[in-house]
A and B are shown apart, each in its own frame.
Chain A
Amino acid sequence: MKKLLIPLIFLSLQSFCQDNKTTMLKYPNSTGDIDFDSTLDRKDFQLCGKGYGYQYFNDGKGVLYEGEKKAIEQSFKEKYKSQNASKQTGLIRIRFVVNCKGETDRFRLIGTDENYQEKTFDKSITEQLLTIAKELKGWKPKAFQSKTEILAYDFYQYLIFKIKDGKITEILP
């Protein structure tokens, strides 16, 4: 029995807590919140609520777009000018706010390479993606509904683009 206990104790020591280093991070009220930035955002874009930070999936209905995701894909297929760019491979996410009227703004972009390491893509790619994303007009408003009231709310939406050598291979979610 002793023979068994010794290796068990030895193994379990590896997961014991000896390192007390932690990094204190400051978090937004809700993960991924996007504050107004006068250098980037439209001044005439109105939020309907007080910024509760709802996400597109909170209502259980997922992405709601006129013509479904197919229409989003079609917009990028028609407008995005692909180019052969051998080092332009990875993921680009554009996150933004859809207000209670289905209008959009506060677009923010991040990118990674294929190994999830932060990456800045060529502007010819990111600016095109941002422009086309801003032109999407089919977002359907979301609302809480009860028997007596309907309360439309603002929510966060994102689009992720899988990019291979400068070409869009998939659009998510």
Chain B
Amino acid sequence: MKILFYFLFLISFHTYAQPNCNVYLYAGDTAQYKACLLSEQIQEYQFHRKFHEKFDEVLKICPNFAYAYREKSTAYLKSGDFITWKKLIDKAVELEWRTNLGYRGWCRYQFFRDYEGAIRDIEKLDSLANYDIGFGQNGDYHLNLAKGICYSAIGQKQKAIDIMKQQINTPNYEVGLYDYYQLGVTYFEIKDYQNALSCFEKQAKINALAENEYYKSKIFKILKNQDEANKCKNVAVKLYKDSKILFDPYTHHFNKVYWEEIENL
């Protein structure tokens, strides 16, 4: 039973930072302030019935409290209930776009591979915000990288490359854990193998991945360099066995490569 409690404890945290309730107090919005204070007391796991009942109580105090809709939407997102999730997250975006529009765009991409919808949300956010639009919810990609991935997924490879490059070259931007890999694969897909290799080399220095070596091996094979292709395959096999792979507990990364594909190189 101890194991169960520990387990539930680990997964009980809310999906993102709670709002600063004093913001509402200073704005004179006492209803949102009270709703916010009440939401701070909710400790249940986001799938639990009581979690939803308590957030309903919060919404009774203030039906315009965007945070509550977003919190309620999360369990539906993670259980694949796109219908209920969309209704709730749309309400959150309608009430507070600053914190929710980019999040909705990210979720459209990550959980439903709704590439066009994600692009619309991220571009809308970009048009409204005069600040860095930031990273997707799990921190894997900057939202502009995610946008580039979405353009790649719908076949607009050059546009995808331009977007990814622009983000990577943005001053003070700290390159993400998978940025060069995704850019490299996009180059690979348009048969620009030199640029693809250059990206994969950079990726290997930042975050070595089996998938990265898989693509390097494929390129060397195309370039008729079987020795290098074999070396890369061996590295890919080792990295895969060491779990140095593209991984997410909820979904699969875009351009994920599986063991069978590496084995059959």
Contact of B83 among A52, A67, A118, A170 (CB under 8 A): A118
Q: How large is the interface on B (under 10, 10 to 19, 20 to 34, 35 or more residues)?
A: 35 or more
CB–CB B31/A173 < 8 A: no
Contact of B75 among A24, A32, A70, A71 (CB under 8 A): A32
Cα–Cα, bound, A53→B28 (Å): 41
Those 3 A-B pairs whose CB atoms lie nearest each other, nearest first: A17-B31, A31-B75, A32-B79
Across-interface contacts of A31 in B (CB, < 8 A): 46-47, 52, 75-76, 79, 81
CB–CB B113/A170 < 8 A: yes
**Closest chain B residue, CB of each to CB of A49:** B4
Across-interface contacts of B46 in A (CB, < 8 A): 31
Q: How many A-B residue pairs have CB under 8 A?
A: 133
| A121 beta carbon closer than 8 Å to chain B | no
Tell me the smallest distance from the CB of B4 to a CB of chain A, in Å.
7
**Contact status of A58 and B11, CB under 8 A, knowing A17-B61, A52-B4, A172-B111:** yes
Across-interface contacts of B192 in A (CB, < 8 A): none
CB–CB A12/B27 < 8 A: yes
Tell me the smallest distance from the CB of A31 to a CB of chain B, in Å.
4
Within 8 A of B (CB), among A11-52: 12, 15-17, 19-22, 24-25, 27-32, 52
| B260 beta carbon closer than 8 Å to chain A | yes
Contact of B49 among A29, A68, A112, A151 (CB under 8 A): A29
Within 8 A of B (CB), among A155-173: 156, 158, 160, 162, 170, 172-173
CB–CB B247/A62 < 8 A: yes
Across-interface contacts of B259 in A (CB, < 8 A): 68, 70
Across-interface contacts of A68 in B (CB, < 8 A): 258-260
**Contact status of A24 and B260, CB under 8 A, knowing A116-B82, A144-B7:** no
Tell me the smallest distance from the CB of A22 to a CB of chain B, in Å.
5
CB–CB B7/A58 < 8 A: yes
| A69 beta carbon closer than 8 Å to chain B | yes
| A91 beta carbon closer than 8 Å to chain B | yes
Cα–Cα, bound, A149→B1 (Å): 11
Render B18-51 as a binary contact track against A, CB cut-off 8 A, 1 for contact. Answer: 0000000001110110010000000000111100
CB–CB A17/B64 < 8 A: yes
**Closest chain B residue, CB of each to CB of A71:** B260
Across-interface contacts of A88 in B (CB, < 8 A): none
**Closest chain A residue, CB of each to CB of B153:** A170
| B251 beta carbon closer than 8 Å to chain A | yes
**Closest chain A residue, CB of each to CB of B75:** A31
Q: In this complex, which of A17, A27, A55 has the most chain B Cβ atoms within 10 angstroms of its Cβ?
A: A17
Contact of B251 among A116, A144, A145, A173 (CB under 8 A): A173
Contact of B81 among A17, A110, A149 (CB under 8 A): A110
Across-interface contacts of A32 in B (CB, < 8 A): 47, 75-76, 79-81
Contact of A95 among B52, B60, B61, B79 (CB under 8 A): B79
Contact of A17 among B32, B79, B252 (CB under 8 A): B32
**Closest chain A residue, CB of each to CB of B28:** A12
Tell me the smallest distance from the CB of A158 to a CB of chain B, in Å.
4
